[in-house]
Amino acid sequence: MKRVFVAGHNGMVGSAIVRQLSNEPEIELVLRSRSELNLLCQADVRQFFLEENIDAVYLAAAKVGGIAANNNFPADFIYENLMIECNIIHSAHSVDINDLLFLGSSCIYPKLAEQPMKESALLTAKLEPTNEPYAVAKIAGIKLCESFNRQYGRNYRSVMPTNLYGQYDNFHPENSHVIPALMRRFHEAKQADDESVVVWGSGKPMREFLHVDDMAAGSIFVMNVDKHIYDRCTEPMQSHLNVGTGEDCTIAELAHTMAEVVGFKGQVSFDSSKPDGAPRKLMNVDALKQLGWRYSIELKEGLAMTYDWFLENQDNYRA
């Protein structure tokens, strides 16, 4: 039996990984809530790893949010993410855990990176200012994995997901990512019979979206790929792979699709006084395709699945 620790199992990505790993009879999941294990405390994390005899780690724990949250709480985003990564990765190494998967973010790439963004674009130019603290923390996590691999021969891998959405997302009206924020806004507008919905920004930026169930499947796939094959598909001296669809749409197109899925019949307009963020963020997923993995859930289908979950969980979704 392989004991697998999923850090952040109550979050959107972590819970999706847990759902899929739960179907594997040879895996015993080890899970701890925030009240049971404070990932910001080095001593607590170290003691946990000493006691639990873990074989592999999925590091899905993170402090996440949209443009507004990143703008308003930059110190929280860089500090908490750095501490979580450092505590878990170093503690895993210290008890001789050889297999770990770190989940990053597409925001690690430069604001004006050539599209679609290749893994080799990392650290080649300036980051998007609105989420730079979060991005710097995620880059540090990648480099931690790479450094332990180089110095100690560990098998610490990193996956960089594109924009994710799905069940157990954060539906806060201000501090959430674009899909859950829009879903809640259109839903409430529909309930109130509003004539219009105003979307932040110009609607022109292009974004790529991946359903969280696909992200979980891709993460497990990457964790289980033979090391020699994995190393052939990654950049020299790097440990990370992009995970996405390789396809994108404008925010305006997303908003109109969301209105259709939710059933909102009013007008959709855009507030250009609000920040757009990066003009385009599309992942190059050639390396992952070369390994043999591809997404399976199309955007409209995934939005419908997410809205069904939203309707069934309005009393307990994160907001």
Model pLDDT for residues 87-141, shown as the tens digit of each residue: 999 999 999 999 999 999 988 999 889 999 999 999 999 998 888 999 999 999 9
The CATH number for 67's domain is 3.40.50.720
| Position 183 in a domain | no
**pTM of the predicted protein model:** 0.92
| Position 116 in a domain | yes
The percent of the chain in helix, strand and coil, each rounded to the nearest 5, is 45, 20, 35
CA 89, CA 303: separation in Å to the nearest integer?
Answer: 34
Which one of the listed residues 58, 109, 134, 165 is annotated catalytic? 134
Model pLDDT for residues 26-77, shown as the tens digit of each residue: 999 999 999 999 999 999 999 999 999 999 999 999 998 777 788 889 999 9
Model pLDDT for residues 296-310, shown as the tens digit of each residue: 999 999 999 999 999
Lowest-confidence segment of 42-46, 212-216, 314-318 by average pLDDT: 314-318
Domain count, the chain: 1
Amino acid found at 243:
V
CA 265, CA 40: separation in Å to the nearest integer?
Answer: 45
Tell whether the model's pLDDT for residue 247 goes beyond 70: yes
| Position 78 in a domain | yes
Tell whether the model's pLDDT for residue 173 goes beyond 80: no
CA 21, CA 62: separation in Å to the nearest integer?
Answer: 20
Domain enclosing residue 63, as ranges: 2-166+209-246+281-297
CA 87, CA 93: separation in Å to the nearest integer?
Answer: 10
For residue 247, give Cα distances in angstroms to 62, 98, 294: 25, 34, 12
Counting Cα atoms < 13 Å in the Cβ hemisphere of 72 gives: 9
Tell whether the model's pLDDT for residue 319 goes beyond 60: no
* Catalytic status, residue 165: no
CA 114, CA 268: separation in Å to the nearest integer?
Answer: 30
Residue whose C-alpha is closest to residue 160's, from 83, 256, 88, 235: 235
| Position 184 in a domain | no
The confidence band for 152, taking pLDDT boundaries of 50, 70 and 90, is very high
pLDDT at 237: 65
Tell whether the model's pLDDT for residue 318 goes beyond 70: no
| Position 267 in a domain | no
| Position 193 in a domain | no
Q: Name 189's bridge partners.
A: none
| Position 203 in a domain | no
| Position 79 in a domain | yes
pLDDT at 46: 98
pLDDT at 143: 97
pLDDT at 175: 67
